[in-house]
Amino acid sequence: MKKIALVTFFTLFFAAGTGHVALADIGEAGFFGGITDGSTLPKMTDIKAKTEKKRRTRAYKEVVFVSGEPVTFEGVIAVDAKNQPVEFTEPAGAYAVTFTVAPGDGADADGVVSINRAVTFDVRYRKEGRQVIKDYEPRTWSETIVTPAGEFSLDPVHSRFNVSVIEDHAPGVVYYKGDISQRRVYNDAENKITALDSSGAFYGYSCALSAAEAHRIDITAISDGFQAQYQVRPAISSVKILRYGENEPDAISFSGNYREITQSSSGLEYNIYEKPQYIDVPTFGREYMPVYNSFEQLISPDLGFLKGHFAEEAITKLFATQVFENDPLFFKPAQVMTRGQFISAVARAIKLRLPDLTPKKGRSKKSAVIDDTDAAFGDAAPDRPDYGYIMAANAAGLIFGRDNGSYYPDNAITREEAAVIIMRALGLESISPDAASDTPFADGSQISDWARRSMNAARFIGILNGDGFARPDETLSKADAALLLNAMTDYMRYGLSRDYTEHIVNYAD
């Protein structure tokens, strides 16, 4: 058994997934057609400190139809996940999640609408490959709604609630789709019964740079005094926008720097297709949450020697966001990028989980050794600086190596190899609009069969563009690789969020 001496000992623990911070449970607005003030995206300080948050309280807004007339509630929602896995490593399991809606500390006691709701779901899941199926069943459910028309209390015996979700855990993004079915039965003070039957679908995704969730829910309300049909389309999104700012003082050691602005926006629209009798209500309405921004300053790398270079902006962004590491003064944009360097940069861009570097108890750091029998590839030994990235990327399904069990980390990476890794990171290899044998590139016949689908998909979403040529065998310089990596992170910031919110909210059935 071969041993390799190390300065520090790697206690190898891999949890391949999207980042150090736990992904929020889906349906943060609670599956009732409401909206919150956005999702929390991890800051670099969170990632470095490996912090996690299980309980989240947010501002909340919901349009209530229980009286027939749409009225708006504003309060707070708390989401508390019990034993929720950070990563779904087991083939099956269960946990609980509780959604609590309340008026909030600053609410007016004489407010127009009040909701007090608490739903605890037992969530059972099973895992097949990178997909996770979740089924939500309510364990307890209590709810009271007060409107100008009176007080309505949920009848839990005759009410039903089911949510079923499929998630696809790509290395850099978690995508999900779910279906909701509800039957909510309420009694008012006069013992009149109102039933709200709801059904709909929702779509969402979450990654380190953005997150979005959008619902389309159809509601039929039946009461002794009215009957009506509604559709509600809520959407919540949070995006890390990258902005550069020049410094104002003359006597300052750096001219400016990038900052990430986490911008959250939420809104809902509703249509009334069958108006309640004897109630004069509009057939369309909108509600919004105020936009909230938070900021994080990024490092200011010294890259003055790149002034005027075609990839100056992309390289500066990648150093600022720490996708590129090491001293920028030694960065050579014309130098080829190796396969090990590229996969390390992709892993940092998507915030891939890395091995735990904590020394094992009872072992001296100086005398610590590690077996290389656990190494994924024979040519990627534990003493390499990119070893942790290569191992994590292999565990996440980003790379597989060659038939001989080698990864060739010191070989220059080609455009088609880079495109395949990027599309695997995004999990979007299958969205190519062309058949595997077809290609939009003028030199498409030169693309390897194993890379054609990914290169087509990368062109479709704008990662690859330009003059219409793929040049699949061309090795990438570090400047060329920076352009591709910057296009990938821009898509994670802006392209995904726009797709999810526009396609669901803007189109009513």
Nearest residue to 295 via CA among 256, 267, 248, 258: 258
User: Do residues 274 and 319 share a domain?
Assistant: no
Q: Find all residues with CB under 8 Å of 48, minimum gap 6, and list them.
A: none
Q: Could you give the 3-state DSSP secondary structure of residue 153?
A: strand
User: Looking at residue 497, what DSSP letter applies?
Assistant: H
> Is residue 26 situated within a structural domain?
no
Q: What is the pLDDT of residues 123-150, one digit of tens each?
A: 999 999 999 999 999 999 999 999 998 9
User: Do residues 290 and 307 share a domain?
Assistant: no
User: Do residues 284 and 377 share a domain?
Assistant: no
> Is residue 499 situated within a structural domain?
no
- Residue 334 tokens, joined: 């014309």
What distance, in Å, lies between the first and last C-alpha atoms of the chain? 64
User: Do residues 307 and 234 share a domain?
Assistant: no
Q: How far apart are CA 12 and CA 357, in angstroms?
A: 7
> Is residue 506 situated within a structural domain?
no
Degrees, nearest 5: CA angle 416-421-422: 95
Where does the pLDDT of residue 402 fall: very low under 50, low under 70, confident under 90, or very high at 90 and above? Answer: confident
Name the domain count of the chain: 2
- Residue 348 near residue 326, CB atoms below 8 Å: no
- Residue 426 tokens, joined: 């995004």
User: Do residues 130 and 275 share a domain?
Assistant: yes
User: Do residues 86 and 176 share a domain?
Assistant: yes
User: Do residues 259 and 309 share a domain?
Assistant: no
Q: What is the pLDDT of residues 444-501, one digit of tens each?
A: 899 999 999 999 999 999 999 878 899 999 999 999 999 999 999 999 999 998 888 7
Q: Find all residues with CB under 8 Å of 441, minimum gap 6, and list them.
A: 447, 455, 459, 468, 469, 470
User: Do residues 345 and 279 share a domain?
Assistant: no
User: Do residues 287 and 303 share a domain?
Assistant: no
pLDDT at 311: 96
User: Do residues 284 and 350 share a domain?
Assistant: no
pLDDT at 40: 73
Task: Give residue 152's identity as a one-letter amino acid code.
Answer: F
With 90 as the cut, is the pLDDT of residue 186 above it? Answer: yes
> Is residue 30 situated within a structural domain?
no
- Residue 7 near residue 54, CB atoms below 8 Å: no
Domain that holds residue 306: 3-13+299-493
> Is residue 25 situated within a structural domain?
no
User: Do residues 261 and 380 share a domain?
Assistant: no
- Range 62-78 average pLDDT: 92
Q: Around 34, how many Cα atoms within 13 Å sit in the side-chain half-sphere? A: 28
Where does the pLDDT of residue 277 fall: very low under 50, low under 70, confident under 90, or very high at 90 and above? Answer: confident
User: Do residues 290 and 337 share a domain?
Assistant: no
pTM for this prediction = 0.88
Site of tokens 């736990």: 22
pLDDT at 451: 93
